[in-house]
Structure 1
Amino acid sequence: MSETELPGVDSKTPNAARIYNYFLGGKDNFAADRDAAEAVLAMAPEVRAAAMENREFLVRAVRYLVGEAGVRQFVDVGAGIPAERPVHEVAQRIDPDAKVAYVDNDSVVLVHSRALLGGRRGTLVVPGDAREPEAILDSPELALLIDLDQPVAVILIAILHFVPDSDDPAGLVRRLLDRLPSGSHVVITHLSDGGVPDDPRIAQTRALYNGGLYFRSRKEIEGLFEGLDMVEPGLVGVGQWRRTAGDDTSWWLGGVARKP
């Protein structure tokens, strides 16, 4: 990506979506993002593999939701820059009529998503912030594609660990699901403190994100699913979810749950 390709976009300040894109091997990032990502990798080289496992978890979750749970509508909140095997491609390989709304508040993400997804059947790119769930659900743009009277899978992949406690991440999940019918699902992955909250790498990594990254305990992450029915095997390392082999990524936990 050219440093001057997108007018009005700050290419000098590291951006979480672009850093994650770099971890996944993408090219939609700037030098500042690559430098920040490499600083993280210098402290914790396993982060890149964990990011890949996180993506594979999402693919397996979408396949489960379409193929076994019968979900045909997805709202991907904090979707990030489109990566290989985006949600709509995975879902529509099973059912071509599956619909996916990608939601993000990052100007870079919106520009790239619209460029890559414009005109794709069954997809929509909607501006929205995970901290304002009602605004997402009330969006006239969302209503063009998603029927909130039918089951919806809300995807919150690697987004809630950017939400501080003061914004009540568990409450945001409840507010998103409250408006949706029985049979709706939520898919969440979240950085964990690995049971070692004083690990110096946590503080060092948070500093690279200017303190805006929150490693939570397993108990706190479990609280994000309160009142919902967890899909087996529950909350596990993303590499182990519905997979016979894989690393137990205790730093990155994931789960899928159904609204009763």
Structure 2
Amino acid sequence: MPQTIPFTKGHGTGNDFVVIPDPDGALDLSDDQVAVLCDRRFGIGADGVLRVVRSSAIPEGAGADAEWFMDYRNADGSAAEMCGNGIRVFARYLVDAGWAFIDDEPLAIATRAGVKHVTRSDRGFEVDLGTWRVESGDVLVRAKGAGAPRPGMGIDVGNPHVVVALPDTDELDALDLAAVPQLHPEPAKGANVEFVVPSDPLVHAGTGSIRMRVFERGVGETLSCGTGVAAAALAVREWAGPAAPDAWTVDVPGGTLGVRMHDGHVLLSGPATLVYAGEVTLA
């Protein structure tokens, strides 16, 4: 028998999500159901689904020091470790629903990449993504419209990324990210791929600035990718050397996000918007 459920549509700098409240973990969404919900012609349309579930009601959340678990699914239905834009939208939903508060203390949210903490910021919300890891060895990236293959830096911020530097905005704009970038060697779990161009000058008033486009695994090109923005800033900081700043702004097609590095952690800040709510009957 068809099941009708409530949902809310939200986005962070154009990276959009179907938010589904399921506090007690009663829903068992199949990959196909998630894909239909995210379909922009036959469903609601989104880059992914955020299921709002208590940590105690989902196996991945067992023992987490957080009441709520962000069950993030890509547009193709596959589960993902983390989503930097999604977790801000998730926090905004919890606060607006009265299910959680962000006052003097950060809001803890469990994810497949561990517990993350969200606070308010001048840009909207800021999430501490935790530590990061620079992978050894370059990954060769071939992208349609980019000419010759280029080396990319592997960066793990709770989920895997490969960041590629391009020489100018003309080449960035010429990329055809309707085609899947080819990675050699292919990371075991795949990766999001970020293409970046440094601003000129790279640093102004102590803050670095770059422009970025992204191809997300399991989704395709998106207007923004929060963890990808963090990975891109970290990669350019690594390339720039020890004098590079710890504060960055990153322009993506959907807007601008802030990144800062503090005490070995990388933090991402930006807006989170809830657009509309409704009900949908699951396929």
Q: Same fold (TM over 0.5)?
A: no
Greater share of strand: 2
With normalisation by structure 2, the TM-score equals: 0.27
Greater share of helix: 1
Question: Relative contact order, CA 8 A, sep 6+: which one is greater?
Answer: 2
With normalisation by structure 1, the TM-score equals: 0.29
